[in-house]
Structure 1
């Protein structure tokens, strides 16, 4: 016969499992380690994403600049001249007044295409037989470097 103070081995195992089951969640140190790891990952991953976004916008802007230039060419084919500097790019959307008057005017662009990808107006200059078309870049000001540099149609 067993002594009354002896606990069966099965009972010990049950208590060991029960103690482990009561410990739920993470300690403060474990949480701090997880937060630190997430912070390090964000510091490594996020900055390149912003650079690639600006690079993508520049590429998109070059495509948009070509579209506006194609609209100017269509206008010239229909009317035998480009819109004057005074008539501006608005002549590609609404019938312009003043000289030179378009003979076969049709809209060739949508109003939304008259702004660059940063929401700025293009710089348009025409001397008659040719034109200059410029996007002032991300900063919307003349000059600039990197992503703020001007993008001219002639340089594409």
Structure 2
């Protein structure tokens, strides 16, 4: 009789499940782990975007240098990076490569979806930069000078 009572008490305890405190502790731990994982993911993604932007800037600079060697000047600010895809109407470059200087039909954007800033007033030097994640001038910009 006593054995039956012990077995039924043990059986009842096993069927009770988790207490509210135990569930809250598990949920809190899962929340902390999730927060940590998301934070690290966002940091890694940002670093990856910055590296990709630097590579894109280097590739654009290489294409601009090819344009310079062919045309003896960089495209002016008005012609912009689009001059690397097709010959600008106001271009005096006689040896412009009919295939352009970059692949594709569109000037690439930075990983955040912003256009690169291109300036060349005298045709002898260029300013090339990305406005970074916030898309605003100032801190967080990635420029050609940062890479070289």
* Cα distance between partner residues in 2 of 1:155 and 1:43: 32
Q: How many angstroms apart in 2 are the aligned matches of 1:90 and 1:102?
A: 17
Distance 1:34 1:59 in 2: 38
RCO comparison, higher one (Cα < 8 Å, 6+): 2
* Other-structure match for 1:155: 146
**Is residue 90–residue 114 contact of structure 1 (8 Å, CA) maintained in 2?**
no
TM-score (norm 2): 0.79
In structure 2, what is the equivalent of residue 134 of structure 1? Answer: 129
Structure 2 counterpart of 1:50, from 42, 45, 52: 42
Contact 1:124–1:132 (CA<8 Å) still a contact in 2?
A: yes
Indicate the residue corresponding to 2:91 in structure 1: 99
* Change in 2 beyond 3 A, CA 1:44/1:102: same
Matches within 5 A, 1:52-67: 52-67=44-59
Change over 3 Å in CA distance of 1:68–1:92 after alignment to 2: same
Q: Note closer, same or farther for the CA distance 1:114–1:43 as it changes in structure 2 (3 Å cut).
A: closer
Question: How far does the alpha carbon of each residue in 1:20-73 deviate from its partner, in whole angstroms, 9 at most, with x for none?
Answer: 596164333322221011122223333233222212211111111101111111
Q: 1:40 aligns with which of 19, 28, 32?
A: 32
The gaps in structure 1 that reach 5 residues or longer are 1-6
* Aligned residue pair count: 144
Q: Relative to 1, partners in 2 of residues 1:31 and 1:19: Cα closer, same or farther, differing over 3 Å?
A: same
